[in-house]
Structure 1
């Protein structure tokens, strides 16, 4: 199923890691079985996108290729084997691509080509181009139809009144949601989130609260930490979120955490810069018997985990990269039901929007505006 489409489109191209990007007019992606072509309406940037393309983050990507990130698009064509998606559908585009014959083989379209030779083979061939373009081709299973009337409609008519850019926050919320679901966060759990002052950490606070848990948010920047507490406390209840500063003094941090009772869950989403931080040990030592810990952070060095506490308290430790397909469906359901907020109600706002030609400025603003809920977008 197709509509009349232009033969060419504009795309942002990465010729080689460490070289400047450039905008190129190239043939529009062609439909094949198992795929959908979408018109990209808006797509986000990571705060560390500049580091990826410069090579300082040491991520591997196919080159030349079109980089990208999670996007909101409108379907313009689907393969002959599509059963529900059709042209005109508004969709969330998930960049977490899995092998169809082995879903444990996975990579992030436009960000990272995965951790195995098989994921790299997949991303360097069929899926080398991502969403920083006017049109993109993705697997059918990575395009999730959205209830446009509910999400974008006027509140006076039963809608939630979001903008298309607001819907991009789904891509950020999904990451901590995958980890929190993986360790079974439930209503009335007490969850330590650390660090809680970055883009993914602050979002983890919101998602955990929406799942019915209470949260102890940890961070070094106490001013930002209080902003996170103030905003989400107002949205979900001030008594459900507390804060404890990271001081690099384990005894001090444990004492701060103990004021709120033993925690059920520790959720870590540390950036690489947090290597050697004290909060991992402090949080694990603050878990109750049979508590759980989930590690989703980007630290490359080994962590100093107090194994005595793991053994004596029967703790469960789980590593999690990204999320499952069922998590995407569940998260969209929570948003459409109004349980999980987007836009200003969800603490998110667009601080920069750019055409593809302004890619350098967009990368710079994304790096500089990396606070809670801040997003920079391309509108191709």
Structure 2
């Protein structure tokens, strides 16, 4: 099969003929129809993000495709079924704390790297091998819609955070990082889940205006100034009701005081979920006042990715029409233009935009 191979960090992707993946028990082979290209893929492939990813490797996180072959322990998946290939591979013997690797992207810890040695290659290829449980059925779709269904990969990350905080209909959510790819998806999801209001702070006025245009008056934009105390006050004042929850999904380039300003908007008993990359590249740690957390009964939780059960319920949100994949603009590239796709994804990054490879 053909695949885009990263020979080493900092080198261009090379289109090569590589062996077809072989099928084992507990695995499926999927024909890749569309593979999303992350907006920060160039940072991963250059080594700037310092992700644990041994080279040479076929990169690529997730895909929409059709089942080619299933192992002997698969009882429901059939060749031809449309599936989402979940890149979050978990050890099966990890109990409540499984080791995790992000197939084709990175790994977490020693156990994650052990998984990575086997589930190493990602989806920038004509075929991919994934654990059976990572091939999530999405139902029948038109082949030309495969690229748009790649939005599942963007939506699943913030959806995992909303489920982790037990976000409920009627609550008001503040999205720290609302104008980014994941942040704008969080806004769409919270509204689909019945949010009363979504406070959307950011510095990009055009992106804030676009969120209001897309989703209406339940979105409350706030323009940030960089003054933490001023911004906290402005976010509180923007909401006509107390803020129940904050989801932070800021990228590594953001300073921690921006996240702190958002969390300090919470009402008594409020919850904050941290899902971003703040501090990953250095800088100050997030500092929150102990007395304020204690006296106001604040819950602060970290959440990395999502539980596997999130995929089915997200597909149901899409199928019900509550989440509209038509919000996303898709730009597709053939596999031979993988390097162009990576460059385009970086320069054309923004809310409700997807770049995909179509092997």
TM over 0.5: yes
Tell me, yes or no, if the aligned pair for 2:25 and 2:72 is still in contact at 8 Å. Answer: yes
C-alpha offsets along residues 318-364 of structure 1, whole Å, 9 cap, x if unaligned?
A: 00000001111111111112222112xxx2111x3111221221111
Partner Cα separation in structure 1 for residue 106 and residue 294 of structure 2: 35
User: Is 2:61 the partner of 1:78?
Assistant: no
Match of 2:116 in 1: 123
Tell me, yes or no, if the aligned pair for 2:68 and 2:80 is still in contact at 8 Å. Answer: yes
Match of 1:231 in 2: 214
Q: Runs of 5+ in structure 2 lacking a partner? A: none
2:232 counterpart (223, 230, 254):
254
TM-score when scaled to structure 2?
0.94
Tell me, yes or no, if the aligned pair for 2:201 and 2:235 is still in contact at 8 Å. Answer: no
C-alpha offsets along residues 271-314 of structure 1, whole Å, 9 cap, x if unaligned?
A: 01112443x22222221111000000011241132333211200
User: Is 2:303 the partner of 1:311?
Assistant: no
Partner Cα separation in structure 1 for residue 82 and residue 130 of structure 2: 14
Partner Cα separation in structure 2 for residue 335 and residue 306 of structure 1: 40
- 4+ residue runs of structure 1 moved beyond 3 angstroms? none
Match of 1:104 in 2: 98
Larger RCO (CA under 8 A, 6+ residues apart): 2
Aligned partner of residue 106 in structure 2, secondary structure: coil
Partner Cα separation in structure 1 for residue 38 and residue 161 of structure 2: 19
Match of 1:173 in 2: 155
Pick closer, same or farther for the CA change 1:212–1:73 going to 2, 3 Å.
same
Tell me, yes or no, if the aligned pair for 1:110 and 1:130 is still in contact at 8 Å. Answer: yes
Shift of 1:152: 4.3
Match of 2:304 in 1: 321
User: Is 2:39 the partner of 1:47?
Assistant: yes
2:334 counterpart (343, 349, 355):
355
User: Is 2:352 the partner of 1:373?
Assistant: yes
User: Is 2:236 the partner of 1:242?
Assistant: no
Match of 2:129 in 1: 137
Which moves more between the two structures, 250-259 or 182-191?
Answer: 250-259
Match of 2:165 in 1: 183
Shift of 1:255: 2.4
Cα RMSD of the aligned pairs, angstroms, is: 1.5
Partner Cα separation in structure 2 for residue 98 and residue 135 of structure 1: 20
Tell me, yes or no, if the aligned pair for 1:92 and 1:143 is still in contact at 8 Å. Answer: yes
Match of 1:210 in 2: 192
Tell me, yes or no, if the aligned pair for 1:272 and 1:299 is still in contact at 8 Å. Answer: yes
